[in-house]
Amino acid sequence: MALGIGIGSIFDGVGNLIDLVGLDDLIGNIDDINLNDLGNLFDDLGGEIGDLFDDLIDDIDSTIDGNNGNNRIRGNRRDNLLIGRDGNDALLGLAGNDLLVGGDGNDRMDGGRGNDILVGGGGSDTYVGSSGNDVFVLETGRGRDLVRDYRDGTDKIALLSDVEFSDLKISQKGRNTLVSQGRDLLAVMPGVRASSITANDFVNFNLANFNLATISHSVDASF
């Protein structure tokens, strides 16, 4: 298994390991991909979260796109776009302000240092923001996600644009906060008090302009 540009990667029997550490120019910058007007991904965020997303998109230095297998993708110290697609993927952003997209499957995503946005997609995904002001995106009817390190007042939960905070039920079960819409359990947040979660913790998310099928690269990768 090798990248199309001739840089080897390692197959470990679990999936694909793609490592950008030390390879800052592996793919290029945001101009090398078409994200179908990614700047409109968030609607009316305003304030620090809106600035976070604008800065992330403006400054993305490298992107790497997995396949439909079980990918293990690690970024570098710059701002990365990491995409797992189908399969049970592991995405690690390391430093930088990263955008991690799991796709279908039960994915584990760790933003690492920096202000990161984590989008799980279908399946039961595990979110770890690590340090920074992070945004965790939840989808209805797409599986139950585990948000392992949500920090009230620092991180945000993003909802699809057709879901409002008033549609949700925030409840306590033991040491966990549960986020539900009707009978659909969207997320479990360990160590978080349900009483501390308010509408201020949530922002709206618009998937209308986010179509992974439109992404194209200037460098081909084959596995």
| Amino acid symbol at 55 | D
Quote the DSSP letter at residue 213. G
Q: Which of 197, 101, 205 is nearest to 159 (CA)?
A: 205
Look at residues 212, 216, 206 and name the one whose alpha carbon lies nearest to residue 40: 206
Spatial contact of 165 and 159, defined as CB atoms under 8 Å apart? yes
Share of the chain above pLDDT 70, in %: 61
| 216 CB-side CA count, 13 A | 4
Per residue in 179-220, pLDDT (tens digit) is 999 999 999 999 999 999 999 999 877 655 454 444 333 222
**Secondary structure element (H or E) that encloses residue 53, with its range:** helix 47-59
What amino acid occupies position 163? V
Which pair of structure tokens corresponds to residue 213? 């099928």
pTM score: 0.68
Structure tokens at 9: 């990667």
Reported confidence tier of residue 171, pLDDT bands at 50, 70, 90: very high
From the list 65, 52, 57, the residue with the least C-alpha distance to 36 is 57
pLDDT at 42: 43
Average pLDDT over residues 33-38: 33
**Could you tell me what percent of the chain has a pLDDT over 90?**
27
